[in-house]
Structure 1
Amino acid sequence: MDESTLVDLLGRFGFSDKEIDTYLTLLAHGEATASQIADAAGVSKRYVYSVGETLEKRGFAEVNDHVVPTVIRAKPPEEVIENLQSDVEAMRPGLTERYAEVEPTAEQFEVVKSRVTVLKRIRTLIDEAETELVLSLPLSYLPDVREELSDAVDRGVLVLLIASDVDDPSELADTLPELGEIASVTRTWSEPMPTMLAVDSRIGVLAPMEMLVRSNSDRQAIVFTQEQLGPVIVGSFLGNYWPVAEEVAVVDPAPLPRTFSDFRHAVLQATRHLRAGTDLRASVEGRTTADDEPTSIEGRVVDVTQGLIVPANNEFPVEHSLTLETEDGTVTVGGPGAFVEDVEASDVTLLTG
C-alpha cells in the first residue's frame, strides 16, 4: 500500500494530516522519546506529547511517562486492528437498533417522451395499486392494460375508468366485453381527453391527449410521485371529466362483511347495497372532526351522498359521505380530509343486519 492511500485511510478515523505524520514517524521508530519523534516529524515536542495522548486513547500507542525522558511506543498493527474490529462489532447492535430501513427516495417527476414508455409506466403503476386508482385512456389502448386492471379489481382495488374517444358506447362492449371485470365503474366519453392515472392518490401519469391519439405528436408525458399532487389529479378527474362521461358498467355489490380502507370504495358498495335493498350496517374507525379524537362508531346506514354512479346526489364532485343511525343519534362520516361530516373515517366495515 502506498503512503497516500494509508494517509487517506487513517484520515477516516479522524486524524489530522499532522497527527498522521507524527504517527507514521512513531511506527517507523517503533519506540522513541518525544524529542526523537519531534525531530523526525518536524513538529514541536509539546505537540508530540499531545498527539501521544490522543494515540493512546484511541489504542494506537502507549505512553510511558514513568521514565525520564517519556517514551512513546507504537502498538503492534495486529493489536490495533483487532481492537478496531472489536469496537466496530460493539457498535453493530446500537447502529442496527437505530437504523430505519427505507426505500430510496424516488424522483418526484419523470418526463416521458415515448408512447410505448407511457403505456409501460401505466401498467406498472396499476400493478402497484393497493386501494384506489382512477384512469382515463383512449379506447384503442384499453386492451393494453386489460390484464393489469382485472388483477387490480381482483385485489379489491377501487377502479374508476373512463374510456375516451368513444363515438358509440357499444364499441366498448365489442372491444372489452368483460367490463365488470376490469373496473368498478366504467364510463365513456366521445371526446379525446388527457390520459390521467392516479394510484392511491400518491403516484400517477399525466399525458396530453395528442400524445396517444396522434402518431406524429411530439408532446411529452409526466410521471409523478408526489402525494400533494395525487389528490389534485383525482379531484380534477372526478370534477371535470367523470360527470360528463356516460356510465356503461358498474360492479356488482360485494359480498359482506367487508372492510374498506378506501372510503370512496366503501361509499360505492354502500350505494349498491342500499339500492339492492340490503339492510346495511357499518362499523367505522376514525377521528372526530370537531376535536380530532380517535373514535369508533357503529350503526345502520340510512343515507349515502355520492357521485360515483348515477344518479349522483352530491353537491360537489369530491363529496362522498355515509349517514349512520347510531345509539347516540345520527352521525355523518366522511373520508380523508373530512371537515363537514362528524367523523373522518380511516376504515369502514360494511355488514348486513
Structure 2
Amino acid sequence: MTDDLRGTLDRVGDRFNLGEYEIDAYLAVLEHGELTASDIADKTDIPQPRVYDTVRSLSDRGLVELRESRPMKIVAVDPEDAFGDLRSSFTEMVDELEARYTAPTRETEAVSLVKSRSTILRYVEEVIESAEFELAVSLTPALLRRFRDDLAAKVADGVSVELLVTPASKAPDPDEFDYLEVATIARARRGITTPILAVADGEYSVYATQDALRDDRERYGVIFNRSALGFLVSGFFGTVLWTTAETLAADGTERPFPRRYASIRRAVKDIREFSREAGESEGGSESGTGDESETGEFYASVEGRDIETGESVTVSGRVVDLAFEDSEEVASLVVETTDGRVDIGGRVAALEDIEGQVIVIGRDGPPAL
C-alpha cells in the first residue's frame, strides 16, 4: 500500500471514527448551531462529566469550534468546511482501492457461513438483484425500507416477489405504504424469531437470524449457491413462514402469462387463484382448473427428473388437475401430454411422476421453456 493511500485511509478513518457520545453531541450542535456543555447534557444522554472530553474530541477532528467563554460554548462548523477537504481524497481513495480489489470467486462454494452484518446485507442485496423470475424475501420493516428500490425494480421487471415483513406490529400500514410497488403479494408475520432470508429463482439464497443483524450479538448467516440446497430455504419459507402470516396486499393477476416458476407451490397457487377470480367474474365456480371454460384453461411445460430413474425429462401439455392444501404441504399438478397424463410435483417429489425443477405456465398452449 502506498504511503499516500495509507495516509488518506488514516485521515478518513480518524474523521469518521466517532463514538456514540460524539455522534449525539455533534448532531445536537449541528441542529442548534451553538450550545453550552450543559445544553448538550440536557439534550442528549451524555453524562455531564463526559461532555467536555466528547466535545474536545470533536474539536480535534475539526467538526466543532470551542469558544473558551464562561460557560464554554460549542459552535458548529459548516459541514462543507469540515468535510470538504475529504471529498476529492475520498474519491481518489475509492478509485485506488477499487483498482487493488480482486473479486472473490464465491460461486464455487455450495455453502458459505458469514458473520459480518454488512456481509449478510450485501448477500441479501445480491440475491435480490440476481432474481430473474421468482423471488421470496423475509425482511424487517427497516430492511424493507433499505431494499425498497431494489424490490421495486424487480417488480417492474416482471419478477414474482413474495414479501414477508416481520414483526407484523411494526410493518408499515398498507394505507400508507404501497406494498404492490415492491411485491406481487405481501404478508406480515408476528414475532422477532422470524429469520431474514431471500431466495432467487429457487436457487441462490441467504438465511440469517434477526440477531445476526444486531450489532450487539455475534451470530451468522448462511448462503446457499446451488439449487439443491437453496430449495431448503425456499421450502422453509413456503411451508413454515408464509402459511403463518397475514396478507397485507396482493396484485392477484397483474403479471402476464406465460409465467416461469422454480416452485410448484407458487405455480399451483397462481393457477388456482387466477381460475377462482375468473370464475367469480363470470359467475362460475371457484374451484377446479376450469376445464369447462376458456378462462380456466392453462398449459404447462416442465423440466425435471423422473422420480424413479433420476433421468432428466421434459413434458408439456394442458393442465387438467391440481392438488393443493392451504398448509402448502401438498402441491402438484397433472399435465395431459401426448403420451398420457403425468403428475408433476416439486423438489424431492415422491408421490408424483416427475420432480418439477423449472415450470412455465401459459394460457394459449404449451409455453416454451
Q: Does the alignment reach a TM-score above 0.5?
A: yes
Q: Distance in 2 between matches of 1:285 and 1:119?
A: 33
Q: TM-score, normalised by structure 1?
A: 0.57
Question: Structure 2 regions of 5+ residues with no counterpart?
Answer: 1-104, 280-294
Partner of residue 304 from structure 1, selected from 322, 329, 335: 322
Inter-partner Cα distance in structure 1 for 2:227 and 2:312:
24
Match in the other structure for 1:322: 333
Q: CA deviation at 1:270?
A: 1.1
Q: How far apart are the structure 1 equivalents of 2:324 and 2:158? A: 20
* Structure 1 residue 229: Cα displacement: 2.7
Instruction: State the alpha-carbon separation in 2 of the partners of residues 183 and 205 from structure 1.
Output: 19
* 1:215 Cα offset (Å): 5.0
Equivalent in the alignment of 1:284:
301
For 1:133 and 1:104, how far apart are their aligned partners in 2? 20
> 1:236 maps to which residue?
236
Q: Which residue of 2 aligns with 1:109?
A: 112
CA distance in 2, matches of 1:208, 1:328: 47
Change (3 A) 1:216 1:180: same
Alignment of 1:340 with 2:348, yes or no, is: no
- Aligned equivalents of 2:163, 2:255: Cα separation in 1: 22
**Using the alignment, how far apart are the partners of 1:262 and 1:156 within structure 2?**
15
Aligned to 1:44: none
Q: Which residue of 2 aligns with 1:189?
A: 189
Asked if the contact 1:139–1:172 (Cα under 8 Å) also holds between the matched residues in 2, the reply is: no
Match of 2:70 in 1: none
Check 1:168–1:194 CA distance in 2 against 1; reply closer, same or farther (3 A cut). closer
Structure 1 residues 7-26: aligned runs within 5 Å: none
Any idea what SS the aligned residue of 1:135 has? strand
Matched, 1:258 2:277: no
User: For residues 293 and 203 of structure 1, what CA distance do their matches in structure 2 show?
Assistant: 21
Which protein is bigger by CA-based radius of gyration? 1
| Superposed CA offset, 1:153-183 (max 9, x none) | 23333322210112176x34256x2212322
Name the TM-score, length of structure 2 as normaliser.
0.55
Q: How does 1:266-277 map to 2 (within 5 A)?
A: 266-276=267-277, 277=279
Secondary structure of the 1:167 match is: helix
Tell me, in whole angstroms, the C-alpha distance in 1 between the residues paired with 2:231 and 2:150.
22
How big is each residue's C-alpha offset from its partner over 1:77-97, in whole Å with a ceiling of 9 and x where there is no partner? Answer: xxxxxxxxxxxxxxxxxxxxx
Alignment of 1:128-167 (within 5 A): 128-167=130-169
1:67 counterpart residue number: none
Identity %: 27
Question: Is the contact between residue 150 and residue 183 of structure 1 (CA under 8 Å) also seen in structure 2?
Answer: yes
Q: 2 CA distance for matches of 1:174 and 1:123?
A: 27
- State the one-letter code of the partner of 1:296: V
Shift, 1:224, TM fit: 3.8
Read off the aligned partner of 2:363 and give its amino acid letter. Answer: L
How many residue pairs were aligned? 239
**CA 1:329–1:274 in structure 2 vs 1: closer, same or farther (change >3 Å)?**
farther
User: Contact between 2:188 and 2:248, CA under 8 Å: does it hold in 1?
Assistant: yes
Alpha-carbon distance, 1:227 to partner: 3.9
The answer on 1:351 being equivalent to 2:363 is: yes
Map of 2:289 onto structure 1: none
**Is the 8 Å Cα contact of residues 126 and 148 (structure 1) preserved in structure 2?**
yes
Describe the superposition over 1:46-99 as per-residue Cα deviations: whole angstroms up to 9, x where unpaired: xxxxxxxxxxxxxxxxxxxxxxxxxxxxxxxxxxxxxxxxxxxxxxxxxxxxxx
User: What CA distance in whole angstroms lies between the structure 2 residues aligned with 1:261 and 1:204?
Assistant: 16
Q: Secondary structure at the match of 1:173?
A: coil
CA distance in 1, matches of 2:274, 2:324: 14
Q: Secondary structure at the match of 1:119?
A: helix
- In the alignment, the residues of structure 1 paired with residue 253 and residue 353 of structure 2 have an alpha-carbon distance, to the nearest angstrom, of 26
The CA RMSD over aligned residues, in Å, is 3.1
CA distance in structure 1 between the partners assigned to 2:236 and 2:321 by the alignment: 26
Q: For the Cα contact (< 8 Å) 1:284–1:348, is it kept in 2?
A: yes
Match of 1:72 in 2: none
Instruction: Compute the displacement of 1:143 (Å).
Output: 1.0
